[in-house]
Amino acid sequence: MSEDREPTGKEDTSTPTLSAKGASISKTVQTHLIFPEHANALGKAFGGQVMAWIDLAGGICAMRHTAGLAVTASVDDLQFEHSLAIGDVAVVEARVNAAFRTSLEVEVNVWGESLQTRTRWLCVNARMTFVAIDEQAKPRSVPPLVPESDEDVARMKAAQERRNERLARRKR
């Protein structure tokens, strides 16, 4: 079909054109102080508490990118590297790695920080898939992600490979 053809009035206008967004637009950072109610008998943060913060930051990041509701579809990878103790600060950083038709991959890193020394260490790295939904909880289109750096291009490529692997596993 010709790109310059006359409109017929039968074009699909139900799906608005979505503007591409960079990952910096939706980046989300949360900071939490580890209190005794966040910790186990050893004085270390509960893994479940940290996972809740990861899901919350990831969800906010996804909703910022999609400009609407998004729900957690899967946690593809979540690795606890180092612990957080009572009195430490948890810095939770979420960013979009890739956007697909109705879903997006969000990476969340949790950093520990000592208030005394200001040193930081990686506690947890997680990759999650969120699905954008409308008011009827039906999947809706996601704005494309535009890379802002070479690192973004590499993240997008790796996320696409992980998505292909997830979809292949679902077909088995």
CA distance 125 to 13: 40
What pLDDT sits at residue 3? 38
Q: How many domains does the chain have?
A: 1
CATH number (domain holding residue 163): 3.10.129.10
Q: Would 16 be classed as within a structural domain?
A: no
What pLDDT sits at residue 167? 87
Q: Which residues of the chain have pLDDT under 50?
A: 1-14
What pLDDT sits at residue 166? 87
CB within 8 Å of 151: residues ≥ 6 apart: none
Q: Would 143 be classed as within a structural domain?
A: yes
pTM as predicted: 0.86
Q: Would 14 be classed as within a structural domain?
A: no
What pLDDT sits at residue 5? 37
Query: In angstroms, what CA-CA distances link 35 with 30, 49, 117?
Result: 16, 11, 18
Query: Residue 101 in contact with residue 91, Cβ under 8 Å?
Result: no
Q: β-pairing, 28-33 with 70-80?
A: unpaired
Q: Would 18 be classed as within a structural domain?
A: no
What pLDDT sits at residue 16? 56
Q: Would 30 be classed as within a structural domain?
A: yes
CB within 8 Å of 123: residues ≥ 6 apart: 50, 80, 81, 82, 83, 84, 90, 110, 111, 112
CB-neighbour burial class of residue 76 (10 A; exposed 0-12, middle 13-18, buried 19+): middle
> What is the domain extent for residue 106?
23-171
